[in-house]
């Protein structure tokens, strides 16, 4: 690995929990549980590599169409995971950010996420940005509405950037999607303008440090021209 070419921000579409569970004749929630363990491994790998921002697509605005049992299970897992790891995050200098709309997340989820965000807000190491109830189109609309409310009549790209959920989040140099699917699914549409993409057939619950480093190595071999020559 070239230490001088580590992406500052890596964003991941964690896909394939359901298929992983199905292959093992387990309920889908067992796949999400195994997915939470992959989150832990990936966070450690990102920290070790020197990545400063890690965005994980935990729940999309479209995921509300899943069966209630699965949604409830995912929300419960999120709360349990935050409860379990907030202390560790504080100790390991990890800062938690949430990107997404608060409505219609439950009071329990909002309380847990608010508490974890607050507890880690002074940390200066890796920022874990959880995309929760997140949709990129909604994020852009959110920015436009905020700008309209200021009375401004026309906007620049810088104006939009300044009203995203986290204006200070650098654009991801690298976006990873697991499970062999090759699409963006309403993830970071604004921020992905010049991102490099890495697709792997590995299902999210099997993702680990070695897979993460493979993605970084692939990124390091890319020639990024940003529209130039």
The residues annotated as belonging to the active site are 15, 63
Cβ atoms of 219 and 46 closer than 8 Å:
no
CB of 171 to ligand FPP, least distance (A): 22
Tokens of 67: 């069966």
- Site membership for ligand FPP, residue 211 (CB under 6 A): no
HSE value, Cβ hemisphere, 13 Å, CA-based, for 1: 18
Shortest distance in whole angstroms from residue 5 CB to ligand FPP = 27
73 near ligand FPP, judged by CB under 6 A: no
Query: Minimal distance in Å, beta carbon 1 to ligand FPP?
Result: 25
Strands 127-134 and 9-13 come out as unpaired
| Least Cβ distance, residue 229 to ligand FPP (angstroms) | 38
Q: Is 152 in contact with 159 (CB distance < 8 Å)?
A: yes
Q: Does residue number 135 form part of the binding site for ligand FPP (CB under 6 A)?
A: no
Report if residue 116 touches ligand FPP, rule: CB under 6 A.
no
Q: What is the largest CA-CA distance in the chain?
A: 56
- Is 63 one of the binding residues for ligand FPP (CB under 6 A)? yes
Three-class DSSP category at 13: strand
In the stretch 188-207, what mask flags binding to ligand FPP with x, by CB under 6 A? ----------------x---
* 189: CB partners within 8 A, 6+ apart: 136, 137, 139, 140
Residues making contact with ligand FPP (CB under 6 A): 14-19, 32, 35-36, 39, 56, 58, 63, 77-78, 81, 130, 179, 204
């Amino acid at each position: 690995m070239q230490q001088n070419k580590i992406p500052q921000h890596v964003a991941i579409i964690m896909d394939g929990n359901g298929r992983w569970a199905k292959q093992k004749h387990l309920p889908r929630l067992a796949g999400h549980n195994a997915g939470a363990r992959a989150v832990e491994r990936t966070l450690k790998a990102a920290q070790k590599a020197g990545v400063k921002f890690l965005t994980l697509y935990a729940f999309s605005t479209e995921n509300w169409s899943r069966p209630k049992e699965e949604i409830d299970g995912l929300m419960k897992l999120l709360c349990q995971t935050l409860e379990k790891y907030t202390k560790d995050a504080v100790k390991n200098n990890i800062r938690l950010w949430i990107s997404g709309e608060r409505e219609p997340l439950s009071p329990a989820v909002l309380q847990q996420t608010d508490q974890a965000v607050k507890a880690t807000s002074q940390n200066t190491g890796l920022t874990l940005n959880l995309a929760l109830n997140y949709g990129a189109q909604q994020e852009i609309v959110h920015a436009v509405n905020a700008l309209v409310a200021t009375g401004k009549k026309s906007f620049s790209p810088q104006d939009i950037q300044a009203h995203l959920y986290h204006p200070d989040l650098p654009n991801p140099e690298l976006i990873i999607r697991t499970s062999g699917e090759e699409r963006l699914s309403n993830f970071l549409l604004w921020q992905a303008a010049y991102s490099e993409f890495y697709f792997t057939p590995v299902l999210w619950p099997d993702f680990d440090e070695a897979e993460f480093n493979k993605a970084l190595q692939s990124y390091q071999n890319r020639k990024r021209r940003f529209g130039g020559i």
